[in-house]
Amino acid sequence: MKSREEIQASLEAGLAASGKRIEEFKAKLAEGGAEVSRDAAEDLAEMERAWEAGKNKLSELTAASDEKFDELWADTKGNWDSISSSMEQGWASVTSKFKNLF
């Protein structure tokens, strides 16, 4: 089993990568103009919701005592996998819909 530090570092790296993708998408939307931005607003909002949920879960884990961490991680791991999957699906949907931007 990974240590607490390894788990947190892995989650932080995943969130940082997702945050970077979101910022890149926002920049591409700005380049694409208002019409593209309107079409992509819901996709972007969905990606941001999943990212925020991930940040909240990481905050919970980070704040947990050592004694509670393992218990929280066991409960959170499935949710985290779901959040990660939502973010990946959102990204796949966005890149598919807006191929011309990427």
Q: How many domains does the chain have?
A: 1
Mean pLDDT of all residues in 68-85: 84
Cβ contacts of 72 within 8 Å, gap of 6 or more: 60, 61, 64
Q: What is the pTM of this model?
A: 0.77
Q: What is the separation of C-alpha 60 from the centre of its chain, rounded to a whole number of angstroms?
A: 16
Range of 55's domain? 4-101
Residue 53 structure tokens: 């949920």
What pLDDT shows up at residue 86? 77
Could you report the per-residue pLDDT of 18-74, keeping only the tens digit for each? 899 889 888 887 777 766 666 677 778 888 888 898 899 899 999 999 889 988 888
What pLDDT shows up at residue 39? 67
Are residues 101 and 32 in contact, defined by beta-carbon separation less than 8 angstroms? yes
Residue 44 structure tokens: 């972007």
What pLDDT shows up at residue 19? 92
